[in-house]
Structure 1
C-alpha cells in the first residue's frame, strides 16, 4: 500500500512568535517544514519559555535568507505545496525590544504611529534580482511598513505563483487604529488586494486576519490579552458601541498556538481561501487541535 507524500511548507518568518508555532503545527502533521529568516533558528527564549530548542525543532530546516534577495531562497520553493508570509516590523521588532527590557509593553501599541512616513516608491512586481535590499545595513531607512508588510509579501507571492505553489498564506491583522497604527493595517490590506488580484487565479490565497496573540511564554502578552478580552466582552454587550474606537483592542485575542494551528489547517483544506477572520481562525484552530481529517 502506497503512502501519500508529505506536504511541503515554507514559512518566511518561521523563527518569530507566530511563525515558529506555524512550523511546530506543520511538523506535528509530519509535513516537510522549512523556515526562512535572516537569522536562521529562533532565539528560543524569545519565542518559548525555555532557552533550549524544543524536540520538534529538529524536524524543521532552518534557512537564512534576505526576503528581498530572491536568488537566496528561490530554490527553497521548489515542490512546495504551501508558502506562508509571517514577517512584519510591528510585532516582531517591538516584541524583541520588550522581551529584552528595552521598551515598555505599551510601546507595542504606540510606536510608529505616524500616518505620513515615507512610502516605498518601487513596485515589488517590478523588482529586479540585483536591486538593493532594504534589509542591508546601509539601507535600513527604507525599512517601513510598506516594504515589510506589503512589498515583501507581494514579492514572495509573485515568486511562489511562478514556482507553482498551491496555496499562499499571508498573516494579516484584524483591525486598526487607535490600537494599531493606521499604516500597519493599510499596508496589510494593500498586500491582500494585490496578491489576490495578481495571483488569485494561479494560486489559492488565504489571508489570516489575526487579532492580538498571547502566550504564557511571553508574560507581558497575558495582561494585554486579558484587557482585550474585557474590551471584547464589553463591546459585545453594548452591540459594538466602541468597536470603531477600540480597533484591535475590541477584538477577542487568541492564543498564538491556536492561530498557528488555524493557519496550517486552512492551508491543508482546499476549500478555504480568501480572508479568514477571528471567528474562523478560532474554529479552524480548534479543528486542527482535534486532528480532524480535512
Structure 2
C-alpha cells in the first residue's frame, strides 16, 4: 500500500504539485534589459502578482555629455565644427577674436560665443566643464607672424588645456605635400609642426592631429559667400578616382601639391566630432583617414 501511494505521488499531474516559491522573471522580458538613471525597476506583467518584497535592481547608466571649446570657432573651419557639434547634441563654446559671427542658421544661437585672444584668455572661465578643446588656429603672414599664430598660439592653448585637466586636445594641422625641406622650413609649416609636437607630447594617448589638404566649402568673406565647393568637390572626385594611378608619383618632391585631393570642410568637422566621441581615436590622421572618420558620424 505504501508503495502504491508513492507511485501516485510520483505520477501525479504537474498542475497538482506545489510549485517553488522562488521569484521568477517573466520569460517575455529580455534577459539583458537595463534600467537606467538609478531608478528602481521591477518586472511585472498581466497575471503575475507583484511581490513588493522581491529585491529591486539599481543600475546607474554611464551617460557621457560632451562640452567642446573651439578655438577660432567663428572662422571657416571653426564654424563648420561648431555647427556639426551642435547637430550632434554637443555643448559648444567658441573663443575667437571676432566673437559671434553673422552666419545664418539656428545653430548659431546654440553656441556660446566669446571674443578674446588665446594669449590673454581667461582659461578658468572658458574651460570649465569642457571635455575637449579643438584648435583651428592658423594663418599666413610674415615668418614671425606665422610662427606665432600657427605655433606659439597653439602651444599656449595646449598647455592651458593640459594644466586645467581637460582630457583631450584636437588640432587642425596641414598636409605636408611632400614638399622639399627648404619649403617646410617656412614659418607656416614649422609653426604647425611645433604645435603638433606639443599636442602629441602632452596628450600621447588622447591627442588628435588632423592633416587635411586644401579645404573646400562655402566660405563667407566680408558678408559674401565664396562657393569653393564648386571647384573643390569635382576635383576631389577626380583625384580620388585616379588615386591608384597617380599614387606612385606622390613620392616625388612637391608632386603632392597637384595630387593630394582636397577635403570638404564638413568632412573635417565630422572627423573632429568622431575624435570628441571616440576615446580610441588619437594620433596623426591623413587626408584619407579624415574622410573615413567623418563617414562614421555623418549619418
Give the structure-1-normalised TM-score. 0.70
Deviations 1:17-52 (A, max 9, x none): 1110111111112111101101111242xxxxxxxx
Q: Specify the alignment match of 2:40 in structure 1.
A: none
Preserved contact between residue 171 and residue 199 of structure 2 (Cα < 8 Å):
no
Q: Specify the alignment match of 1:237 in structure 2.
A: 245
Structure 1 pair 6–200 and aligned structure 2 pair: CA distance change class (3 A)? closer
Greater relative contact order (Cα 8 A, min sep 6): structure 1 or 2?
1
> What's the C-alpha RMSD, in Å, of the aligned pairs?
2.4
Matched, 1:194 2:245: no
Matched, 1:58 2:109: yes
Measured after TM superposition, the shift of residue 235 of structure 1 is 5.8
- Uncovered stretches (5+) of structure 2, i.e. residues with no partner: 1-35, 38-60, 219-224
Partner Cα distance (1:274, 1:173) in 2: 14
Deviations 1:94-122 (A, max 9, x none): xxxxxxxxxxxxxxxxxx5xxxx554xxx
Deviations 1:159-183 (A, max 9, x none): 10111111100000112448xx632
Partner Cα distance (1:161, 1:206) in 2: 14
Preserved contact between residue 212 and residue 225 of structure 1 (Cα < 8 Å):
no
Partner Cα distance (1:215, 1:29) in 2: 20
Runs of 4+ in 1 over 4 A off after TM superposition: 224-235
Larger radius of gyration: 2
Partner Cα distance (1:192, 1:286) in 2: 24
Preserved contact between residue 232 and residue 250 of structure 1 (Cα < 8 Å):
no
Deviations 1:50-96 (A, max 9, x none): xxx2011111111111111133x431111210001111113xxxxxx
Preserved contact between residue 158 and residue 198 of structure 2 (Cα < 8 Å):
no
Partner Cα distance (1:5, 1:200) in 2: 20
Deviations 1:236-267 (A, max 9, x none): 41443255323343211121111101111112
Q: How many residues end up aligned between the 2 structures? A: 228
Q: Specify the alignment match of 1:96 in structure 2.
A: none
Name the SS of the counterpart of 2:176 in structure 1.
coil
Q: Specify the alignment match of 2:263 in structure 1.
A: 254
Q: Specify the alignment match of 2:84 in structure 1.
A: 25
Preserved contact between residue 211 and residue 287 of structure 2 (Cα < 8 Å):
yes
- Uncovered stretches (5+) of structure 1, i.e. residues with no partner: 45-52, 91-111, 120-143
Preserved contact between residue 229 and residue 253 of structure 1 (Cα < 8 Å):
no
Partner Cα distance (2:215, 2:260) in 1: 11
Preserved contact between residue 33 and residue 61 of structure 1 (Cα < 8 Å):
yes
Q: Specify the alignment match of 2:221 in structure 1.
A: none
The one of 75, 78, 90 equivalent to 2:128 is 78
Structure 1 pair 255–185 and aligned structure 2 pair: CA distance change class (3 A)? same
Matched, 1:279 2:295: no
Partner Cα distance (1:252, 1:16) in 2: 22
Q: Specify the alignment match of 1:222 in structure 2.
A: 230
Give the structure-2-normalised TM-score. 0.69
Structure 1 pair 30–224 and aligned structure 2 pair: CA distance change class (3 A)? closer
The one of 6, 30, 39 equivalent to 2:98 is 39
Measured after TM superposition, the shift of residue 234 of structure 1 is 5.3
Structure 1 pair 186–231 and aligned structure 2 pair: CA distance change class (3 A)? farther
Partner Cα distance (1:186, 1:168) in 2: 19
Measured after TM superposition, the shift of residue 232 of structure 1 is 5.9
